[in-house]
Amino acid sequence: MSTASSRVVLVYNPIKSGVDELKRRAVVRAEQHGWTDPVFVETTEEDPGVGQARAAAEEGAGLVIACGGDGTVRSVAQGLLGTTIPMGVVPLGTGNLLARNLDIPLDDVDGALRVAMGGRSRPIDLGEVRYTDGEGATHEDVFLVMLGAGMDADMIAGTDDDLKARVGWFAYVGSFANTLLRGHRIKVEYSLDEGETTYTKARTLLVANCGMLQAGMVLLPDAVIDDGLLDVLALRAKGVLGWTRAVYVLAEHTFLHRLPAIRKRVDALGRERHETRPLDFLQGNTMQATVLEKPAPFQIDGEDAGDVTEFSARIKRRGLTVRVGI
């Protein structure tokens, strides 16, 4: 490994706990796996990782490791766009959704560093989104896992940060219950690949690159992180029966994901799993949506993104290289 390609940079969120352990273990792992002494760069409120990752790439790093929550990971990924430099992930956040979908060790800093420095490089898809907020301003961003308008974003915005730091993803439970009790649905029009426009009243409209959430729950079973497709879910559950059916479908997805042999048998029987009345599942390369009436809450990779009136998303196939287990 050349000196330039053996340079490893860790971009870390300094407010996360365990930073001292991270630095200590990173030095040991770098030596074990043939990297030079790691360089540690902090994120800031003004720059959550984009500029730091871009600078690391320009300075010849062979590996950039994002250490933090999903927001830090997304920012580092954005900074590496247009390069071939792989990104490692040390999950230090609440959701850690990308790490979950790539089987990167959670709550195990040394295990995640082992994967980042000693694993293999895997190209994955990356989503690009353009959206208009409630004030009429236009924004561009990327997403690695999923974005959504409606109930999911409302839940994320309503979750207390201090509580997340204390109890992890369980903090979302109370916020979800409050959101559910309010029963708000958004009116939205959306289409895929410039096809027919669908109008619906939905609890949430999700656009995903991969489908696993916290606690191993599989929301979108056909979402594959390197298939070049967006997976779209419109959740329209209403009333006790509608929610019961929706929960049953999601539980079935999780069960079949964990038992792939049974899933293959279900698929072979031709059972329709992609459309149910409270849940619609679609796939495409691009997606456009317009929120009717008032703006809807919006989230990107589990981070509050304010309100949105319209958005479009597209997939950049294998636009990012990530370090995963061998």
* CATH number of the domain to which 80 belongs: 3.40.50.10330
pLDDT higher for 312 or 238?
312
For position 164, what pLDDT does the model report? 46
Q: Looking at the structure, do residues 214 and 92 belong to the same domain, yes or no? A: no
pTM for the whole structure: 0.85
* Residue 262 pLDDT > 90: no
Q: Count CB-CB contacts under 10 A for residue 137.
A: 9
Find where tokens 């729950």 sit. 217
Q: Is residue 326 part of a domain?
A: no
Angle at 142 between CA 95 and CA 152, to 5 degrees: 45
Quote the pLDDT of residue 273: 41
Q: For 158, phi and psi rounded to 5 degrees? A: -90, 5
The whole-angstrom separation of Cα 243 and Cα 169 is 22
Exposure of 260 by Cβ count < 10 A (0-12 exposed, 13-18 middle, 19+ buried)? exposed
Query: Does residue 323 form part of some domain?
Result: no
- The region of weakest confidence among 60-74, 100-114, 126-140, 202-216 is 202-216
pLDDT value for 175: 47
Q: What is the pLDDT of residues 20-49, one digit of tens each?
A: 999 999 999 999 999 999 999 999 999 999
Q: How many domains does the chain have?
A: 2
Assess whether 294 and 155 both reside in one domain: yes
Say yes or no to pLDDT of 163 above 70.
no
Q: Between the CA of residue 1 and those of 7, 89, 116, 282, what are the distances in Å?
A: 10, 21, 16, 44
Distance CA 80, CA 54 (A): 6
Last residue of a domain, one of 118, 135, 159: 118
- In whole angstroms, how far apart are CA 185 and each of 13, 219, 261, 307? 35, 19, 37, 14
Mean pLDDT across the chain:
85
Residues 133 and 247 in one domain: yes
Q: What is the extent of the structural domain holding 91?
A: 8-118
Same domain, residue pair 269 and 180: yes
- CA 4 – CA 245 distance, rounded (Å): 55
Task: State the pLDDT at residue 237.
Answer: 72
104 within 8 A of 83, measured Cβ to Cβ: no
Residue pair 295/309 in contact by the 8 Å Cβ criterion = yes
How confident is the model at residue 296, as a pLDDT? 95
307 in any annotated domain = yes
Please indicate, yes or no, if residue 264 is contained in any of the structural domains.
yes
Does residue 260 lie within any of the structural domains? yes
Residues whose CB falls within 8 Å of the CB of residue 265, separated by 6 or more in sequence, listed in order? none
Q: Counting Cβ atoms within 10 Å, is residue 183 exposed (0-12), middle (13-18) or buried (19+)?
A: exposed
Q: What is the reported pLDDT for 172?
A: 44
- Are 157 and 289 within one domain? yes
Degrees to nearest 5, angle at CA 101 with 228 and 308:
65
pLDDT-derived band at 261, boundaries 50, 70, 90: very low
- Residue ending a domain, among 68, 95, 118, is 118
Q: Is 187 part of any domain? A: yes
CA 274 – CA 220 distance, rounded (Å): 9
